[in-house]
């Protein structure tokens, strides 16, 4: 797919759109002119594409491919990759081992396409032998995976990309902007031409938001299963998997949205809440952040 940026003027703001990391991405700018807005949107798009090229598990030739294809050899990581791995390790501990960047192998048996194709226990158990951060050797900057295991940084990639975009816009000294990568978003500053940024939180129906949130500064991230699930014999199986069992987290909320200072912080809290299952709201209440939970 060609990497293109579309820019248009909408309600006294410039709106730039592009595709990255499997998601529609949008930058809303209060820049005074088209050239300034185009420069800002291009800056954001290039950074999103850089991060996708470097960390996507779907691409060959990047650092993630080198790790996953090492066949048991130790790989030396650059500082940016090592920082993301360190953050993932922190989440692994905070989640009682339920946020695990080696759990991508479970996608081989779970296809969340809205069907009733629930895998068997035996097929899940076969895949689970290749899941578990405890099997990995990580002594920064050297990472060593057992043969046939893999990592996937997709669970933190978009939030990281949003925060990087906000940082670059700030360094450029642009007018206030809202950066939205597939529903994970952050504002560089409070808008000047309106009271707040209007943000729609996705519900079950496409193009019909569950709620509208007024955001002046900071970030929002949402975790949920509005579109990715299985349904069989009256039971709904959401796509948030517990890598300890190989099964979807039982009694998890349909979605959790969190507001925080940074997108990666908001994403961390919303993901950890989903992994708590029925204890999600109790966990959220202890975090001292604004949050919205849908069951």
**3-state secondary structure at position 250:** coil
The burial class, CB within 10 Å (0-12 / 13-18 / 19+), for 285 is exposed
In a domain, 162, yes or no: yes
| Mean pLDDT computed over 191-214 | 78
Structure tokens at 119: 């895998």
- Work out how many domains the chain is built from and give that number: 2
Q: Tell me, what CATH number does 113's domain have?
A: 3.10.520.10
What pLDDT is stored for residue 205 in this prediction? 59
68 and 146, same domain (yes or no): yes
In 205-295, where does DSSP find H-type helix?
Answer: 263-275, 280-285
Structure tokens at 193: 């031409």
- Rounded mean pLDDT of 23-42? 94
| pLDDT of 208 | 63
**What is the pLDDT of the chain when averaged over all its residues?**
93
Asked if the structure places residue 216 within a domain, the reply is no
Tokens representing residue 176 in the block: 């206030």
Q: Confirm if 150 and 102 have CB atoms less than 8 A apart.
A: yes
Per-residue model confidence (pLDDT) at position 295: 83
Task: Give backbone dihedrals phi and psi of 8, rounded to 5 degrees, phi first.
Answer: -145, 155
Region of poorest pLDDT, from 29-33, 60-64, 126-130, 217-221? 29-33
Which residues are paired to 274 by β-bridges?
A: none
| % of the chain surpassing 90 pLDDT | 78
Give the residue-averaged pLDDT of 64-82: 97
Measured in degrees and rounded to the nearest 5, phi and psi for residue 276 equal: -75, -10
- In the chain, pLDDT over 70 holds for what percent of residues? 97
Range of the domain at 141: 63-152+223-294
Q: In the structure encoding, which two tokens stand for residue 19, read together?
A: 């595709």
Give the chain's radius of gyration (CA, Å).
Answer: 20
- Average pLDDT for 239-265: 94
Is 171 part of a structural domain of the chain? yes
How far apart, in Å, are the Cα atoms of 54 and each of 43, 48, 242? Answer: 17, 10, 27
Predicted confidence at residue 234, as pLDDT, reads 82
**Are 26 and 54 spatial neighbours (Cβ–Cβ below 8 Å)?**
no
Tally DSSP H helices, then E strands, for the chain: 7, 15
CA 263 to chain centre: 9
Do 10 and 52 have their domain in common? yes
- Is the same domain home to 143 and 77? yes
What is the pLDDT confidence band of residue 1, given thresholds at 50, 70 and 90?
A: low
**pLDDT of 226 higher than 90:** no
Q: Which two tokens stand for residue 270?
A: 């919303």
In a domain? residue 24: yes
CB atoms within 10 A of CB 147: 9
- In a shared domain, residues 139 and 87: yes
Kindly state the helix (H) or strand (E) to which residue 63 belongs, with its residue range: helix 63-68
Alpha-carbon span 179 to 215, nearest angstrom: 12
In the predicted model, is pLDDT for residue 259 greater than 70? Answer: yes
Whether residues 146 and 166 share a domain: the answer is no
| Residue 204 is assigned to a structural domain of this protein | no
- Residue (of 156, 142, 148, 131) closest to 68 by Cα position: 148
The residue-averaged pLDDT of 187-194 equals 89
Burial class, 275, CB count within 10 angstroms (exposed 0-12 / middle 13-18 / buried 19+): buried
On whether both 25 and 127 belong to a single domain, the answer is no
pLDDT average, residue stretch 229-233: 85
Three-state SS at 248: strand
In a domain, 36, yes or no: yes
Whether residue 68 is contained in a domain is answered as yes
The string of pLDDT tens digits covering residues 97-153 is 999 999 999 999 999 888 989 999 999 999 999 999 999 999 999 999 999 999 999
What is the rounded average pLDDT of the residues 207-234?
83
Give residue 206's pLDDT: 59
Residues 42, 5 contacting (CB under 8 angstroms): yes
Q: Using CA atoms, how far apart are residues 109 and 171, in angstroms rounded to an integer?
A: 44
233 with 175, same domain?
A: no
81 with 180, same domain? no
């Amino acid at each position: 797919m060609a990497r293109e940026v579309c820019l248009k003027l909408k309600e006294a703001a410039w709106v730039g759109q592009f595709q990255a990391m499997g998601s529609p991405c949008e930058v809303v700018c209060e820049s005074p002119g088209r050239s300034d807005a185009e420069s800002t949107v291009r800056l954001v798009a290039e950074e999103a594409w850089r991060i996708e090229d470097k960390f996507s598990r779907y691409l060959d030739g990047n650092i993630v491919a080198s790790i996953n294809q090492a066949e048991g050899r130790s790989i030396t990581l650059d500082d940016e990759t090592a920082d993301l791995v360190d953050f993932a390790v922190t989440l692994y501990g905070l989640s009682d081992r339920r946020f695990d960047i080696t759990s991508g192998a479970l996608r081989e048996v779970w296809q969340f396409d809205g069907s009733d194709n629930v895998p068997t226990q035996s097929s899940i158990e076969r895949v689970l032998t290749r899941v578990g951060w405890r099997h990995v050797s990580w002594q920064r900057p050297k990472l060593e995976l057992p043969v046939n295991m893999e990592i996937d940084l997709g669970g933190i990639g978009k939030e990281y990309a949003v925060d990087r975009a906000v940082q670059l816009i700030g360094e450029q000294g642009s007018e206030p902007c809202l950066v939205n990568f597939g529903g994970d978003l952050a504002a560089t500053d409070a808008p000047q031409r309106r009271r707040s940024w209007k943000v729609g939180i996705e519900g079950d129906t496409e193009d019909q938001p569950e709620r509208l949130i007024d955001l002046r500064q900071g970030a929002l991230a949402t975790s949920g299963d509005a579109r990715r699930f299985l349904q069989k014999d009256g039971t709904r199986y959401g796509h948030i998997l517990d890598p300890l069992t190989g099964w979807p987290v039982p009694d998890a909320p349909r979605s959790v949205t969190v507001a925080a200072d940074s997108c990666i912080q908001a994403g961390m809290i919303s993901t950890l809440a989903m992994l708590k299952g029925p204890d999600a709201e109790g966990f959220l209440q202890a975090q001292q952040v604004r949050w919205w939970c849908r069951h």
